[in-house]
Chain A
Amino acid sequence: MNERSLIFLALAGIVSAALLLRPGLPIGVTDSAHEVFELIESLDSGDVVMISFDHEASSLPEVGPLGAAIADHCFRKRINVVGLALFAEGTAAGYELLTERAGGAGARYGDDWIYLGFRPQYTAAILGMGESIPDVFAADYRGTEIGTLPLGRRVLDYNDIDLVVSVADGSMPTYWVEYAQARYGQKIVAALSAVMVTSFTPYLEAGQLAGILPGLRGAAAYEQLLNSPGAGSRGMDAISGAHVLLALLVVAGNIQLWRSRRRRRNP
């Protein structure tokens, strides 16, 4: 068995073992999760949060728990939710997620939440909603005219939206910042795939983003705050194991480098 196969097996083994054995490492609440939680907690029943599913299907295990935690928090507080997608694959995923979470919370479609659907040209969509949401979405994802829905009649532009949460696995929150926040002053939170976190900390530090919820760790922390462990929390032992393995591999690789240099210097 070669080196590569050993590494593959070690990775699959450690993740499976962590999932099966569930050591139950304590999950702390991160500052970033706390900030986002407080933002939504400060909203009142009847306020409106727009959740934009700006991701592909491939990142669902990571951004799905993020979207679910945010949606649960909104529905629990009776905050109205307007869902949409700026990625084609996020459309079905977002609709599935919101329908499931709304059903669990007893939220009614049309009154408590609506799903606008997909728009492919994100610049035009984000800017267009600043002028008129019904102009961008004349009908919702189900084909119902927006003006016939009670919540649809209330949300005309960003003045009627208290917070936008972009659930993203790429750079979409950048465009929300550049177009919605910079031009219309809309408050934006990015619920991000972990790989994108380092790209968005400058926006957070500059105050252009109101908060960042990063990856599965962010979802786990948020679930702790909601007192409702879910997919985020379930993955924490496994991700700890995987990261320890990766750290050991990095160290092992460097030990090998050091030893081969010593051998070359002292043949």
Chain B
Amino acid sequence: MRDRLAVMAASACGVLLVVQYFVNADWLQASYRLLLSWMQAIFAFALVVGVLAVIRDRIARAGRTTEERVNAVVMVGAALVISLLGFVGGTGRESPFQWAFVHLQAPMQTTVFSLLAFYVATAAYRGFRARTIESGVLVVAALIVLLGRVPIGEWLTPVLPGGADWILNTPALAAKRAILIGIGLGMAATSLRVIAGIERTYLGGR
């Protein structure tokens, strides 16, 4: 009964929003705006639920070793402290919340992703090998764009930036366009399946 209600809700919303794209009626436009505002609110609550679920899960899993317990305390503690700072002190530019974002969170997050630079370098040496003609094409394209897109390549010879431009705007564009078209068709098919009530994986596999 509950699942049927959920599927009907999904189908009804889907049909209404497809119809309103083509039909210009006042009640349709009003329903459209209402659903957009509901989507926003529901999604916001979903985000809050997600955060609480991660915290709850981390507390439940902590306890095997001292280090794990300490790290769990650090994680939950940091979440609580930042939340308090944000709710009590506000999110203004001079607030402790903003300070923590600028001096702690953002730099740490950037550093984590910058680790990939080192692993990309080792991958370039170990993994980028022209074992076949096709992989040779990949390697040559990568080399041209690597050098053609930075000042040293532009300084060495205009052939490199010209080659990089052509690769980006012709063969690479063609392949990506085909991928986009394929994904577009696939997503349209999935949307139709959701609206028709055939696709029900959002019910948790039931």
Please tell me if the beta carbons of A128 and B40 are within 8 angstroms of each other in the complex.
yes
Given known A7-B125, A217-B149, A249-B125, contact A57–B173 (CB-CB < 8 A): no
Q: Measured between alpha carbons, how far is A157 from B117 in the docked complex, in Å?
A: 41
Contacts of B126 in A (CB 8 A): 253
Please tell me if the beta carbons of A201 and B125 are within 8 angstroms of each other in the complex.
no
Q: Measured between alpha carbons, how far is A251 from B142 in the docked complex, in Å?
A: 11
Please tell me if the beta carbons of B173 and A202 are within 8 angstroms of each other in the complex.
yes
- 8 Å CB contacts to B: which residues of A166-185? 183
Q: Measured between alpha carbons, how far is A15 from B153 in the docked complex, in Å?
A: 17
Contacts of A239 in B (CB 8 A): 150
Please tell me if the beta carbons of A244 and B152 are within 8 angstroms of each other in the complex.
yes
Stretch at the interface among A34-42, A93-101, A145-153: A93-101
Contacts of A56 in B (CB 8 A): 109
A226 within 8 A of B: no
Given known A59-B113, A124-B40, contact A25–B92 (CB-CB < 8 A): no
CB distance from B127 to the nearest CB of A (A): 8
Please tell me if the beta carbons of A253 and B173 are within 8 angstroms of each other in the complex.
no
Please tell me if the beta carbons of A135 and B33 are within 8 angstroms of each other in the complex.
yes
A245 within 8 A of B: yes
The contact of A92 among B98, B112, B127, B143, by CB within 8 Å, is B98
Stretch at the interface among A46-54, A65-73, A75-83, A115-123: A115-123
Of the listed residues B44, B98, B113, the one surrounded by the most CB atoms of chain A closer than 10 A to its CB is B113
Q: Measured between alpha carbons, how far is A198 from B128 in the docked complex, in Å?
A: 19
**B interface, by DSSP: helix, strand, loop or mixed?**
helix
Given known A57-B105, A92-B98, A249-B125, contact A25–B172 (CB-CB < 8 A): no
21 A-B Cβ contacts within 8 A?
A7-B125, A11-B118, A25-B155, A26-B155, A57-B101, A57-B110, A58-B113, A61-B110, A93-B106, A124-B40, A131-B29, A135-B37, A198-B172, A198-B176, A202-B176, A236-B151, A243-B149, A243-B152, A250-B124, A253-B128, A254-B129
Given A88-B47, A125-B40, A201-B172, 12 extra CB contacts under 8 A: A7-B118, A8-B122, A26-B154, A59-B113, A96-B101, A120-B40, A132-B33, A135-B37, A183-B21, A202-B173, A243-B153, A257-B130
The interface of chain A, by Cβ under 8 A from chain B, is 3-4, 7-8, 10-11, 25-28, 31, 56-61, 88-89, 92-93, 95-96, 99, 119-121, 123-125, 127-128, 131-132, 135-136, 141-142, 183, 197-199, 201-202, 205, 217, 236-237, 239-247, 249-254, 257
